Amino acid sequence: MSQIKGPALFLAQFAGDEAPFNSLPAITKWAADLGYKGVQIPTFDGRLFDLDKAAESQTYCDEVKGICADAGVEITELSTHLQGQLVAVNPAYDVAFDAFAPEAMRGNPAKRQAWAVDQVKKAAVASERLGLSASVSFTGALAFPYLYPWPQRPDGLIEEAFAELGRRWTPILNHYADHGVSIGYEIHPGEDVFDGATFEMFVDACGGHVAAMINYDPSHFLLQQMDYLAFIDLYHDRINAFHVKDAEFNPDGRQGVYSGYQPWIDRAGRFRSLGDGQVNFPAIFSKLTQYGYDSWAVLEWECCIKSPEQGAAEGAPFIARHLIDRADKAFDDFAGGERDEAAIRTMLGL
């Protein structure tokens, strides 16, 4: 039995209006036929999941679990990435992020935020009804437009941004804890929580909340040129979810980390399908296994070259090859013997 469960697939990038991507029964059967054993469900796509109904009806949640079981997959987590993003939106992003909300909420930031908070809270109830103990989301962003310290930031700007994040998220995290669920925040540029240092600032702002966890995605760390293996050493006790996503960083004389004005295919940093990028997945799976991570390895497909269908088809066997059956004995046990106190004292000259 593997320490890490999988392979699993995040359905958000595959949902569409054409079969088999337009309904939960069809898309879960498609995923299972490719070799996936779990699916991460986006709560923001009504073609696959009705979050409002799930928060109200155990019968509906049982039906969703049954659909997945009939297809041969389990639900790994519920995703509230789009709703979580709307919990905190800097005014610079108002127009762009209005697209994430229902039309009735657009143009009204306060109304949009209230809707987002309600949605994220409903996902805690739905997760509990589905028998899940973890979910995945974004923190949103108040300070990110001021990431580069020019023009000079006024004293207290960043501190107040994180204090406000804490004020907004702590009641939500309390709600999740009440329902036995944690939130794995995807640490992601564009969010105020985009690396380990900002995650620590966020957790501090939330009073060290036990429900504030990490959805580990090494692709975002590689594009920032972070040590994504050392990140596991530092924060393994906060990792409750794992997005298996590849990336590559190829700086040249024209562009480097700040290459976001170019189309994805022309950027120095690009997301790739599994195995086509530079992420050291054998080392990641080894380190997560070493620290006892026992939840799901979930493919998030985002590639600027390869089709989603090919990426999904190649992703399941890729993850399966990296799953590790944890050793139950040391390799040199055969050469050892029973503990002998007299021999120990003799060897030490005692």
Parse the chain into domains and list their residue ranges. Answer: 5-347
Strand partners of residue 213: 184
The CA angle 2-244-46, to the nearest 5 degrees, is 105
Per residue in 53-85, pLDDT (tens digit) is 999 999 999 999 999 999 999 999 999 999 999
pLDDT confidence of 1, banded at 50, 70, 90? low
pTM of the model: 0.96
Per residue in 263-280, pLDDT (tens digit) is 999 999 999 999 999 999
- Please give the residue that has the higher pLDDT: either 244 or 329: 244
Whether 94 shows a pLDDT value over 70: the answer reads: yes
- How much of the chain exceeds pLDDT 70, in percent? 99
State the average pLDDT over residues 116-137. Answer: 98
Rounded to the nearest 10 degrees, what angle do helices 109-129 and 58-71 cross at? 70
Q: What is the CA radius of gyration of the chain?
A: 22
Which residue type sits at 91?
Answer: P
Taking all residues of the chain, what is their mean pLDDT, rounded to a whole number?
A: 96
pLDDT at 2: 65
- Non-local (6+) Cβ contacts of 308 within 8 A are 13, 14, 301
- As given in the structure block, the two tokens for residue 105 are 């909420």
Per residue in 302-347, pLDDT (tens digit) is 999 999 999 999 999 999 999 999 888 877 777 777 889 999 999 9
Instruction: Indicate the CATH number of 5-347 among 3.50.50.60, 3.40.50.10320, 3.40.50.970, 3.20.20.150.
Output: 3.20.20.150
Distance CA 183, CA 270 (A): 27
pLDDT at 331: 76
